[in-house]
Amino acid sequence: MNTLSYGRAALPDAELVRLFSQMTQVRHLDTSAIAWQRQGILPGYAPMRGQEAAQVGSVAALDMSRDFVFPTYREMGAALAAGVDMGEYMATHKATWNGGMYDARETRVTPIQTVIGGSALHAVGWAHGQRLDAAAAGADEPLDLPVALVYLGDGASSQGDIHEAMNFAGVFETPTVFFVQNNGWAISVPTERQVAGGSVAARGAGYGIASIHVDGNDVEAVVQATRAAVAHARSGAGPAVVEAMTYRRGPHSTSDDPGRYRSLAEERRDGGVDPMDALRDRLLEAGALTAEDVAAIQSEAEAFEERVRADVQAQGPRPGAEMFEYVYQEMPAPLREQAAAWREESDHV
């Protein structure tokens, strides 16, 4: 198996403080979004508690001026770290718009993907295009390619789409980083019951893909491991798999009851050290933060959540007729007829 190594040099304290601030915003917004769903503000939401370090740390390894992020429906932390407007991001969870109202070209974060494993195919296709563009331009080796970073979970790794994506990426050496957040659960099924061999990263060997196994609760390790994977892909050496071992500290979604398949005692035992607590304690011990600093960061996160909530609540319903648009470049006659009937019956026009 081609295992990538990564540097263990400590990140500057200022960088870790910035990451902690982002993680605090993510944690508070994630917790609040669950409350919003209970209050009727959102019809549904997929929590990500416990995965803040994996998502914020992986985005920190990218060059967002040229790389591209391909999320699933649980990457709120990655979107925040990439600079996406959170009110526009949450539009999808409010069912206001498909994939979010933010501009994917500007933010370089594709729309939210709810098809399990589907985003991997998109990422590999985009990355393959970058390699073709470099070849057409006569670029010399080693290359300096834009990189696609695609998120998937341990459950998604059992989908056929992931096999197809990894195989294509391996054959054509696309600059793709498959970032696996192994949070221990595929909805209600534990990893050991649905990932043969126990490791998603180990599967990379079958596709000729380099891999890294990392503690997904250690934001510094995540940054370093993802940087190594990105550098590998950027140089033209081919794709890489990063498997970040973490834990889903809550339900799969707001319609899920995790108490049906694990006890609270098991969750506390298996969850390990909370990534937020680990980074906070480290920064306090190093003198990079004071208790007053931590309180200020929390207050800023609370104010940020209030602004996002106001933005979400201000979003009005979209016209129902939009379901017929943005499907075909040229709308076929049957769809035009359906759209006209919709407007007549629903919008009375």
- For residue 101, pLDDT over 90 is answered with no
Q: How confident is the model at residue 99 (pLDDT cuts 50, 70, 90)?
A: low
Contact 221, 214 (CB under 8 A): yes
First to last CA, the chain: 63
Alpha carbons 142 and 44: distance in angstroms, whole number: 45
Whether the full predicted model's pTM is greater than 0.95, yes or no, is no
Q: CA–CA separation, 253 vs 251, rounded Å?
A: 5
The pLDDT tens digits of the residues spanning 285-300 come to: 999 999 999 999 999 9
**Strand (E) or helix (H) holding 132:** helix 118-136
Q: What is the pLDDT of residue 1?
A: 57
For 45-54, 77-86, 91-100, 197-206, which range has the lowest pLDDT when averaged over its residues?
A: 91-100
Query: For residues 155 and 228, is the Cβ–Cβ distance under 8 A?
Result: no
Output DSSP code: residue 109: B
Q: Please calculate the CA angle 158-161-163 and round it to the nearest 5 degrees.
A: 65
Q: Where are the domains of the chain?
A: 13-318, 319-349
d(CA 39, CA 28): 16
Q: What is the mean pLDDT of residues 133-153?
A: 95
Confidence bin at 9 (pLDDT 50/70/90): confident
pLDDT digits (tens, 9 = 90+) for 194-217: 888 878 988 899 999 999 999 999
Quote the tokens at residue 163: 């096999």
* pLDDT > 90 fraction of the chain, expressed in percent and rounded: 74
Average pLDDT, the chain: 93
**pLDDT at residue 126 in the model:** 98
Position 94 confidence tier, pLDDT thresholds 50, 70, 90: confident
Q: Report the topology of domain 13-318.
A: Rossmann fold (3.40.50)
What's the distance, CA 340 to chain centroid?
38
Average pLDDT rounded to a whole number, residues 136-140: 93
* Least confidently predicted of 66-80, 82-96, 158-172, 285-299: 82-96
Task: Give the pLDDT score at 317.
Answer: 77
pLDDT at 3: 86
pLDDT tens, residue by residue, 226-241: 999 999 999 999 999 9
Q: What angle do CA 84, 253, 88 make, to 5 degrees?
A: 20
pLDDT at 177 over 60: yes
Query: Is the pLDDT score of 79 beyond 90?
Result: yes
> Of 24-33, 84-93, 172-181, where does mean pLDDT reach its minimum?
84-93
Q: In the structure encoding, which two tokens stand for residue 33, read together?
A: 């979004």
At residue 146, the pLDDT reads 98
- pLDDT tens for 319-330 read 777 788 878 889
Nearest C-alpha neighbor of 278 from the set 199, 222, 341: 222
